[in-house]
Amino acid sequence: MRKLWNRITRSGKLGIVEFIISALALIASGLLLLLDFSGVISLKQENLICIAIVLLGILVASSLIERFGILSSIFENLVAPDESHAYLAVREQYNRAHPVDDYYSDITEMCIMAVANTSFLRGNGITYLKKAAQKNIKVKLLSINPDSSLASIYETSKILSSVSIPLSGNVDTYKKARKSSKKFQENITMKVCNKIIPYSLMILKKNGQIKTMKIDLYSNNVEYTDRRSIIIPPTDTENIDFFLGQWDFLWNQEDNEEII
């Protein structure tokens, strides 16, 4: 009996529910038959057939409940990612659900690594950086050196988007923003490096503690909005440590150039 109960409990709550429903059905039908045989009540043949059909229906229904529950659980795990570990998301969908403006209320530092950093150095992106500077959020930007041999490869490969992006233009935008604001100079730092940047990386911190990480995978023959992102929560310490090590390695290269 103990082995049977252990098998039931290992199957989870739904297995226990199925067991209870089946047991109650068997007990109820057994009591009716006992009362009939003892002469307390008199059941007709038609009633016995109905009881048998009802009992069978309960057993089938409880089995379906368990199977549907298992399938439902599998479906929920596919649709709703386990946010205690790294998971994959469509870049644009994730960005719409987590706009950059939302970050400012709960972070003190941002580390952003990308080949061009166009998302933060063109259009509304530079506005985000100015807002961060006003809130005294420390931002570190790391991009490919536009004067390096790597720059021309990235600019013409269209791996960043469907159009070529001149990396030097983003550096010029940063320089202009830096000159226009003392707060910007105090809080926003940009470096360019001569190493391959295989993906874009954003690290969000609060008082030195990592809140989340987002990696955007560079892709061929797709728009930048359709890239895939890997979201890493702070509970996934193994992946956090790996990508933090990658950031530290590239940010601290001796031949990096700080843009001023």
Give the pLDDT score at 108. 94
User: Which residue segment(s) compose the domain that 205 sits in?
Assistant: 87-258
Q: Which residues pair with 193 in a beta bridge?
A: 144
Give the pLDDT score at 57. 62
Give the pLDDT score at 93. 83
**End residue of a domain, out of 79, 111, 137:** 79
Residues 191 and 171 in one domain: yes
**End residue of a domain, out of 79, 112, 138:** 79
Give the pLDDT score at 63. 59
**End residue of a domain, out of 51, 79, 107:** 79
Q: What is the DSSP string of 141-194?
A: EEEE-TTSHHHHHHHHH-SSSSS---HHHHHHHHHHHHHT-HHHHHHEEEEEES
143: number of Cβ within 10 Å = 27
Give the pLDDT score at 86. 82
Give the pLDDT score at 8. 41
Q: SS3 for 252?
A: coil
Residues 75 and 96 in one domain: no
Give the pLDDT score at 206. 92
Per-residue CA distances from 2 to 7, 8, 23, 231 (Å):
9, 10, 16, 43
Q: Which stretches of the chain drop beneath a pLDDT of 70?
A: 1-26, 28-83, 100-101, 103-104, 155-166
Per-residue CA distances from 65 to 52, 123, 228, 260 (Å):
20, 53, 36, 65
Residues 21 and 135 in one domain: no
CATH label of the domain that carries residue 176: 3.30.870.10
Per-residue pLDDT reduced to its tens digit, 6-34 = 444 444 444 555 556 666 666 766 666 66
